[in-house]
Structure 1
Amino acid sequence: MLPETSPETPLPADDDPAGLLARLIAIDSVNPDLVAGGAGESAIAAFCAAWLAGRGFEVHTLERRPGRPSLVAVARGSGGGRSLMLNGHLDTVGLTGYDGDPLDPRVRDGRMHGRGAFDMKGGLAAMMTAAARATARGPLRGDVLLACVADEEHGSSGTEEVLESFTADAAIVTEPSHLEVTLAHKGFAWFEVRVEGRAAHGSRPDLGVDAIAKAGHFLVALEELGARLARGPAHPLLGTGTVHASVISGGREPATYPEHCSITLERRTVPGEDAATAEAELAALLGRLAVTVPDFRYRLTPGLHREPFAADPESAIVRTLTRNAEAVLGHPPAVRGEPFWTDAALLDRAGIPCLLFGVDGEGAHAAREWADLASVDRLTAVLAGTITDFCS
């Protein structure tokens, strides 16, 4: 339950970013790739499409995966100006285990609680309201695009689909950043290592090879790799890359030598590293074990990977947003990097200069989640000023 520290505050109308945030929280948009049977993005995409169309935006719905729509809303410019895309995701993680009703937005002590309030319907509400305000008096010179995307919490298929049909001169991803300018984030690469043994009765060590025991050599070496990475060159905003074992499985019964042991691991990467460099590290590590450990046999299989991201701090969009943030906040915004991955890396790979800037709050993926409403208002003001300046 929410803490009983103060009475609840009535919710504002949805022309206000806080009111729009409440409407968005109340729509179940759990990613079904994370939670079987999750509602997906259909209902929330329909709501956002209607809200934006009602404010003069040209709305395009993209739905290559049935039931997983993304939308791009465009305010066409009069010509001769730079275009700007604002990107925010519609999906959330699951509702199970949330403390209270996750779809019942409540305001207490200036904070709006509910699933997705922080990650990232607060940013979604701010970017929609900001774009509506910035274009309300007539077209700017450049186009304003709002990409409200599906599936960021799992595979980012929404932003990938958007980028097949739309581009812009710059972009802002409104992931939560505590009103700090985020210019870099880590990437990741997943791998499976299958250590091979030989099944045999537990009474026949002459015949069996214990895959789990052999895997222990790999786990020790993996820990040593992590320590070497921590001592290596550090990115100024992100530090060093990391590696950890995530899932392990093997064996069938107490009286049988296990014929294989599988380990899933994650390598978090910083700029200058990628999935190929991570795979080469692991292949070298495993190759040394195959030479030095008797009967050590393995198979290394790459899985999903995403690149790290680093923005140019001197790009026009970074300078424009930073100037507007300083005007709204009353001080220069802090600059930071994030350890997690976002869709900014996909925009950057597509040749769109971008950065992250979003609300303050807490509880992403947690039992309690909230967004600071003052930060939602400030974010809206920063984004509206940035849109006006950049697209004029």
Structure 2
Amino acid sequence: MDLSALALARDLLRCPSVTPRDAGAQAVLADALERLGFTVTLLPFGPEPIHNLYARLGTGGPHLCFAGHTDVVPEGMTASWSSDPFAGDVRDGLLYGRGACDMKGGIAAFVAAVARLLAQRPLRGSVSLLITGDEEGPARHGTREVLEWMRAHGEAPDFCLLGEPTNPRELGEVIKIGRRGSLNARIAVEGRQGHVAYPDRADNPVHRLMDVLSELRARTLDAGTEWFEPSSLQVTSIDVGNAAHNVIPQEAGARLNIRFNDAHRGEELASWIRDVCARHGTGCRAEIAISGEAFVTEPGSAVTRLVESVAAITGRTPRLDTGGGTSDARFISTMFPVAEFGLVGASMHQVDEHVSLANLAALDDIYLDFMQRFGL
């Protein structure tokens, strides 16, 4: 089996592992890891089930864990692609395919780096992989459940490197050391339907919903913190479903999202939203889901070594950042320190997703250099 980054990436791309399907992707990865001497544990969770795996090589310290996901988002209209999205085609120095940069390319680069290290000398310490098939989906039966399994089995890495595509345009721009929290809320206001000419005989829920949203929007949540920009509340939908001009509707609803920094906890914000709703009548209620808390990994020796590795290979000193959406780092951070660094993500989730072969090879070099600096 060819364990180069390009060969392994192409093998993974040929598996159409659109969440929640695995389509053989983790079998490809498990085979590669077992050939390198890893002990691979398959961890299916949930009713589907979702495919996950945990693999470890070595028993001592230091212990570095690499995390990632083999699932991908849907390819969309295949006819819009310049080639089959699951063929792993190479053209003009680019590797094409759904998941090329998010994030099968990153997984392939890490495994290739481990193979190169083992070809040079015996491993010092331990290296492991936490791989899920549920990152792009609901994330209920993926990393969170693998972490619980790790806790129960005494697996406690010193540091975790998540291989998400962190770079906007060029390799070496950004290392993510944290992520904002995310809260989703659906607000429903129950009124009393009636004729618009007789408003005294009705209770207009749209007006009360507007008052609720105005009060929520009026609050400045914070001015930002050391590592985070200001928290942001965004109304994403207002729904009434009223087709008549002369009818006051029975119910009105809205959806909103708050991306919050480490000045807040999700439940604190949820309580605030519920309190605001309560002030606007018994018919106003909120359904709230917190998909992740804000976290930051304070820069220490591992992050410093990662910065040094990126700079040594790319010639760029990456900035430490906490922006963007959520990732499985929100779960990992509850158990051990984690930072994220991977490929350029400019084409992720798009038609003709791709990664340059030069960047794929450079990421392989960065991961190898980081493992050596980490003490492996």
TM-score category (smaller protein): 0.7 to 0.9
Q: Which moved further from structure 2: 137-146 or 47-56?
A: 137-146
Q: 1:76 touches 1:139 (CA, 8 Å); kept in 2?
A: no
Is 1:170–2:159 an aligned residue pair?
Answer: yes
Q: Find 2:76's aligned residue among 88, 93, 96.
A: 96
Describe how 1:147-296 pairs up with structure 2 within 5 A. 147-156=130-139, 157-166=141-150, 167-178=156-167, 179=172, 180-200=174-194, 204-225=198-219, 228-229=220-221, 232-251=222-241, 253-254=243-244, 256-287=247-278, 290=280
Deviations, residues 281-300 of structure 1 (Å, cap 9, x unaligned) = 32344355x2xxxx684112
Contact 1:84 1:391 in 2 (8 A): no
1:64-108, CA deviations, whole angstroms, 9 ceiling, x for partnerless residues? 22331101121124x3x2111000111111112353132132333
Query: Residues of 2 paired with 1:24 and 1:245: CA distance?
Result: 38
Q: Measure, in 1, the Cα distance between the counterparts of 2:34 and 2:123.
A: 17
1:143-165 CA-to-partner distances (Å, cap 9, x unmatched) read: 21011112111333311121112
**Residue matched to 1:67:** 49
| CA shift for structure 1 position 202 | 5.7
Q: 1:120 to 1:55 in 2, by over 3 A?
A: same
CA offset at residue 134 of structure 1? 2.3
Q: Secondary structure at the match of 2:286?
A: strand
Instruction: State the Cα distance separating 1:198 from its structure 2 match.
Output: 1.2
Quote the Cα distance in structure 1 between the aligned partners of 2:196 and 2:315. 71
Unmatched 5+ stretches in structure 1: 1-12, 33-39
Q: Does 1:141 align with 2:124?
A: yes
Equivalent residue, structure 1, for 2:153: none
The 3 A distance-change label for structure 1 pair 343 and 361 is closer
Q: What is the RMSD computed on CA atoms of the aligned residues?
A: 2.4
Alignment of 1:296-315 (within 5 A): 297-314=283-300
SS at match of 1:378: helix
Report the count of equivalent residues.
Answer: 360
- The 1-side partners of 2:217 and 2:352 are apart by 33
Asked if structure 2 preserves the Cα contact closer than 8 Å seen for 1:359 and 1:372, the reply is: no
User: 1:331, 1:182 → 2: CA distance?
Assistant: 15
Q: Which runs of 5+ in 2 are unaligned?
A: 151-155
Counterpart of 2:191, as a letter, is G
Decide whether the 8 Å contact of 1:308 with 1:341 is kept in 2.
no
Q: Percent identity?
A: 28
Retained in 2: the 8 A contact 1:317–1:354? no
In 2, are the aligned partners of 1:27 and 1:103 still within 8 Å (CA)? Answer: yes
Q: How does 1:48-63 map to 2 (within 5 A)?
A: 48-63=29-44
TM-score normalized by the length of structure 2: 0.87
Alignment match, 2:331: 346
TM-score, scaled to structure 1: 0.84
Distance of 1:250 and 1:353 partners within structure 2:
45
Report the Cα distance in structure 1 between the residues aligned to 2:86 and 2:187, rounded to whole angstroms.
Answer: 40
Q: Tell me the secondary structure at the aligned position of residue 381 of structure 1.
A: helix
